[in-house]
Structure 1
Amino acid sequence: MFEKVQIAPPDPILGLTETFKADPNPDKINLSVGVYQDSSGRTPVLETVKEAEKRILEQEDSKGYLSMTGAPVYCAVVQELLFGAGHEIIDSKRAATAQCPGGTGALRVAGDYLHFVHPGAKIWLSNPTWANHNTIFGAAGLTCEQYAYRNPETNGLDFDAMCESIKTIPKGDVILLHGCCHNPTGIDPTPEQWAIIGDLLAKQEVLPLVDFAYQGLANGIEEDRTGLLELVKKVKQMLICSSFSKNFGLYRERTGALTIVADDAQQANTVMSQVKLRIRYNYSNPPSHGGQIVAVVLSDKELKAKWYKEVAGIRSRINEMRHLFVKTLKEKGVKQDFNSIIEQRGMFSFSGLTKEQVARLRDEYSIYIVGSGRINVAGMTPSNMDRLCEAIKAVV
């Protein structure tokens, strides 16, 4: 049977990493895959994570399976992080959470649920969006459509076009929204715009699916849930996919969650019963270690405060690189306007570089950027900035 198999095309992002690893150039730079790096180019383990792991090692007494929805304490801290302690959604038990293997796993479970339980629903993705959104939902059997998002002339949000797009989405369809740090553009709506989006979705009777992978990397842990909180004021039903890869550095531990927000507790439990079946048919139950780490840190007042500071340090370094990048390009005499990158938030920015320019950066300078021009700002360091900007000057 295998003789007929043809080689699959490489993943547009992870495939670049494989090419990067094989590149013998000692000065190569990887700005493609979404992994945070410190000023020395390492992906560190947070001190709070190390402390939590020490406690887990000392206290853990079983490696038995978790339930299909994971550990209750983990699910509880996920909801508190999303909505804030004492929020009406939590107190009324209108939310139900399932621990999932990463944010990607949560998205796939959501896609499987939507395809099976709401087979006529299409999912609407921003133009542009994370490249894997299309493949995840397509693999789950959903039809993907697009709504307007980025204004290519300003490299900012085209909010009027976005609203007009939302008005065309049929009742019963699903819209994927990025909770903060939009990937790949780094462009987010304002709180006032989030409120308008919520009104439109309520009027259209469109179900929001919020991809919340970067909480804390825009303006702060609590500040970054502003958009989500504006939405839940307007919309009663929602799906939320969250991840702790970036803000906890738990990339290889695959730690995420799918949260259902429903009209009431009974409805939330009913929807979760269908989600549990999708989980059972896929991976049965989630991995434990990453979830234990998150639960230990967020359940301890001192560790949680220290984690807030560590996330603030990550956020600060990324924003410093944004400013240094634009400043260095100007100093080198680059005429193209990159100022919008300073206003964007999170690990990624839409640079405006063309596919041809990206190809030249890779082939001539061993600088790896996704073909769309999306750059991982967290991959920039003070030591590689001069070479990076010199190369960009040569290709633009």
Structure 2
Amino acid sequence: MFEQLQEQPADKILALMQAFREDPREDKIDLGVGVYKDANGNTPIMRAIKDAEKRLWEEETTKAYTGLAGDPLFAERMSRLVLADAVEADAVSAVATPGGTGAVRQAFDMVRLANPEVRVHVSDPTWPNHLSILKHMGIPAIPYRYFDSETGGVDYEGMIADLSQARSGDVILLHGCCHNPTGANLTQGQWHQLIEIIKSTGATPMIDLAYQGFGDGLDEDAGPTREVAAACPETLIAASCSKNFGIYRERTGILMAVSNDTSKKKVTQGTLAYLNRQNYSFPPDHGARLVLMVLGDEGLRADWMSELEDVRTGMLELRRLLTDELRERSGSDRFGFLAQHRGMFSRLGVGPDKVEALREKHGIYMVGDSRMNIAGLNRDTVPKLAEAIIDVGI
């Protein structure tokens, strides 16, 4: 039967990684891959995670399964990190998943089980894997306007107009903070209005929270998610530990289903566990174990929060430096939006021809839609990028 298989489209980011590796230029810059890097180009293991691993090596006595939903203590501490006291504990059902991607996939599986005719409204643009997974599953993806290439901000009027057309039984997929790929986020007032629109349509919000702590702070980044969960009858939240705990390869995530009708919890929790069983049975535990250890120990948690804050402010500083360099070279503030964006990513809002020119002339690699990873820069490479952007006529 294998002769019936068809070649699948290549992943554009993986292809970009390969092209970067093959480029012989010593001054090339990789702004494509969505992984945090420090000033030396490394993705370090966070201090608190390293300390937790040492303790785990000494204390762990078994490698037996934890359960279909993962360790309940992991779910409890992650729910508290994300939701704080926005909802009652009994309102939350949760399962550990293989990374945030696993949580997204499980959420789509769950909503399709609940409504085989479900449609998912996705921002234009969104993380490409959202669209890839939905296409693979045969779930209709309905785009809504989001990014304004002219201003580098959110096309909020277009977004509201499009989402007002959602209907009961639909899912509205939102980025909780640090929008990927644009870096452009809603204001607090815009979130308030959006929540009212969602409630009026009867659609269910689903929040992909991949970068909590990378934008304005742990609590600040979770604020919109907490407001949505508190205000809407039901909310799905797919959260990742890859970025804010630096444990990418451990594939640690969580899917939370929040309902203000607590009588639904038994069925909801059972459904989540059932879906885990069908897809990968028991979820991985090593990364989840480290996270619950860090969150449950006062010293480890304080050190983790301190290092995460350094990561966050470091990226903000890079944004400021790049904006200043571009202002000096362009004689205008037209790149000021870069300083307003949050998280690892910003989108320049230019076509693939300019992106190709940056690669060919200057060895600067970014995704074809002009998404660049700010964390791929350092103080030495910021001026080179600014010079290249002006040189190619952006």
Q: 1:392 aligned to 382, 389, 393, which one?
A: 389
State the match for 2:209 in structure 1: 212
The one-letter code of the counterpart of 1:43 is T
State the match for 1:316 in structure 2: 313
Paired with 1:18 and 1:66, the residues of 2 have a C-alpha distance of: 38
Aligned-residue Cα RMSD (Å) equals: 1.6
Q: 2:269 aligned to 260, 268, 272, which one?
A: 272
State the match for 2:33 in structure 1: 33
TM superposition shift of 1:353: 2.8
| Contact 1:115/1:141 (<8 A) preserved | no
Paired with 1:3 and 1:334, the residues of 2 have a C-alpha distance of: 59
How does the TM-score come out when normalised to structure 1? 0.95
- Report % sequence identity: 38
State the match for 2:371 in structure 1: 374
The one-letter code of the counterpart of 1:337 is R
Encode CA deviations 1:73-132: one digit per residue, 9 max, x unaligned: 110111100111x44422xx1101100010011101111122233111100001111111
| Contact 1:191/1:230 (<8 A) preserved | no
Q: Which runs of 4+ in 1 moved over 6 A?
A: none
Unaligned 5+ segments in structure 1 are: none
State the match for 1:115 in structure 2: 112
Paired with 1:228 and 1:147, the residues of 2 have a C-alpha distance of: 19
Paired with 1:347 and 1:288, the residues of 2 have a C-alpha distance of: 27
Is 1:248 paired with 2:248? no
State the match for 2:223 in structure 1: 226
Paired with 2:368 and 2:332, the residues of 1 have a C-alpha distance of: 22
The one-letter code of the counterpart of 2:54 is K
TM superposition shift of 1:18: 2.2
State the match for 2:325 in structure 1: 328
Is 1:98 paired with 2:95? yes
| Contact 2:48/2:300 (<8 A) preserved | yes
User: SS of the residue aligned with 1:222?
Assistant: helix
The one-letter code of the counterpart of 1:42 is N
The one-letter code of the counterpart of 2:130 is H
State the match for 2:88 in structure 1: 89
Paired with 2:231 and 2:285, the residues of 1 have a C-alpha distance of: 34
Q: Which moved more, 1:114-123 or 1:103-112?
A: 114-123
TM superposition shift of 1:336: 8.1
Is 1:298 paired with 2:273? no
How does the TM-score come out when normalised to structure 2? 0.95
Unaligned 5+ segments in structure 2 are: none
| Structural mapping, 1:164-175, within 5 Å | 164-175=161-172
Encode CA deviations 1:194-213: one digit per residue, 9 max, x unaligned: 12111111111110000000
Q: 2:233 aligned to 222, 233, 236, which one?
A: 236
